[in-house]
Amino acid sequence: MNQPGDDPQRAEEAGSGYDRLADVRRAGLDQIAQAATVDELRAVEAELLGRSSSLAELQKGLGSLAPEARREAGRAVNEARVELAAALAEQRARLVEAERATQLRSERLDLTEVPYEPRRGHLHLVTQTRDELEDVFVGMGYTVAEGPEVETDWHNFQALNIPVAHPARSTQDTLFLAYGEPESVLIRTHTSPVQVRVMQTQAPPIYSIMPGRVYRKDTPDARHVPTFHQLEGLVIDRGISFADLAGTIEVFTKAYFGPDVTSRLRPAYFPFTEPSAEYEISCVICGGTGCRTCSGTGWIELGGCGMVHPNVLTMCGIDPEEWSGFAFGFGFDRLAQMRHAISDMRVLYDNDIRFVSQF
Ligand code: PHE
């Protein structure tokens, strides 16, 4: 009986085919190891295990082998397939990992070198204005003095020649504190009480400025806020005249606003100065020809001034026969508003960073 597997020639052919198996495996493992990308590996896989691969050929040839040889060759083919498949899986894992590492490296963000500078804050415009004015006056030989924001009625009014029930009190809407006798303690309505404190504690000659925060029971509008800032000036010496006052005001006006802006004094009334004047500057918007900001007058009122009233000197322990002097006070929020042509004063205190960072 002649079975196909018994055919010596076919067995010979088949035998030599299955001898190649070891080479197929070795060559396959080599190819797998040399695949450099997942894509290359996919091509190698098709070549090694696909339908027209050497293994598939050998698999197909099994049918022509004698049962004994077929079993053995079958096991060998299968082992080779399992081994190549395992090597492929291992290499794929390695390549996937490597490709992922490369991708991560290329997409890496170095957060230690943030490409922008952290933004720095700076002083508020009103603070800058105070510093600048202090520099101007310190340059003229003045000292800078401060006083409390919570004041007695005596310092804020009475020592300034404004007795209880004096009509001038109504021009400064006062916020009294519920402390001590009714209406005896308040948050200061102006910086003039610091004059009083300076005169009480220092012997003349006095050349001082007193910047600070003040409070009034005011409704906010484009040119008023209830909490604002004044700079008070006080000079007490021998032979001081109104001309010294006018000259001093013109000097700091030019220093702060530049050469194009001039000052003028208009007769006014304050209980603590005699004579008294209002301090005005030529309008920074229209240059003096008249516009909406200056109500068509060409001038903008910034503060008050005058020769220190003899009653005030006396109340503060200074002999008016020997000494004379002048005082002035103005809101420097308003000064900054004018220099920078800010239409509404309230934006100074809105704390909108888009606004305050411009200065
Ligand atoms: N204290 C006054 C005010 O707030 C201004 C002023 C100061 C006037 C000094 C004269 C002298 O209105």
Q: Whose CA is nearest to atom 7 of ligand 1?
A: 329
Number of separate helices (H) and strands (E) present in the chain = 12, 10
pLDDT band for position 127 (cuts 50, 70, 90): very high
pLDDT band for position 20 (cuts 50, 70, 90): confident
Residues in contact with ligand 1 (CB, 6 Å cut-off): 190, 192, 232, 270, 273, 303-306, 327-329
3-state secondary structure of 301: strand
3-state secondary structure of 212: strand
pLDDT, tens digit, 9 for 90 and up, residues 46-58: 999 999 888 888 8
pLDDT, tens digit, 9 for 90 and up, residues 145-165: 999 999 999 999 999 999 888
Residue 301 assigned to a binding site:
no
pLDDT, tens digit, 9 for 90 and up, residues 317-355: 999 999 999 999 999 999 999 999 898 899 999 989 999
pLDDT, tens digit, 9 for 90 and up, residues 160-176: 999 888 877 877 789 99
pLDDT band for position 1 (cuts 50, 70, 90): very low
Quick one: average pLDDT of 311-319?
A: 97
pLDDT number for residue 8? 45
Task: Spell out the residues 6+ positions from residue 92 whose beta carbon is closer than 8 angstroms to its own.
Answer: 38, 41
pLDDT, tens digit, 9 for 90 and up, residues 212-258: 999 999 899 888 899 999 999 999 999 999 999 999 999 999 999 99
Mean pLDDT for the chain? 91
Q: Report CA(286)–ligand 1 centroid distance (Å).
A: 26
User: Which of 339 and 2 is assigned the larger pLDDT?
Assistant: 339
Q: Report CA(183)–ligand 1 centroid distance (Å).
A: 21
Q: Which atom from ligand 1 is nearest to the alpha carbon of 330?
A: 5
pLDDT number for residue 172? 75
φ, ψ of residue 286 to 5 degrees: the values are: -105, -5
pLDDT, tens digit, 9 for 90 and up, residues 21-40: 888 999 999 999 999 999 99
pLDDT, tens digit, 9 for 90 and up, residues 169-214: 877 789 999 999 988 999 999 999 999 999 999 999 999 999 999 9
> Could you tell me if 327 and 277 are in contact, meaning their C-beta atoms sit under 8 angstroms apart?
no
Task: Spell out the residues 6+ positions from residue 119 whose beta carbon is closer than 8 angstroms to its own.
Answer: none
Q: What is the reported pTM?
A: 0.68
Task: Spell out the residues 6+ positions from residue 196 whose beta carbon is closer than 8 angstroms to its own.
Answer: 155, 159, 160, 312, 315, 316
Q: Which of 169, 249, 272 to mutate to test the pocket of ligand 1 (most atoms within 8 A of CB)?
A: 272
pLDDT band for position 276 (cuts 50, 70, 90): very high
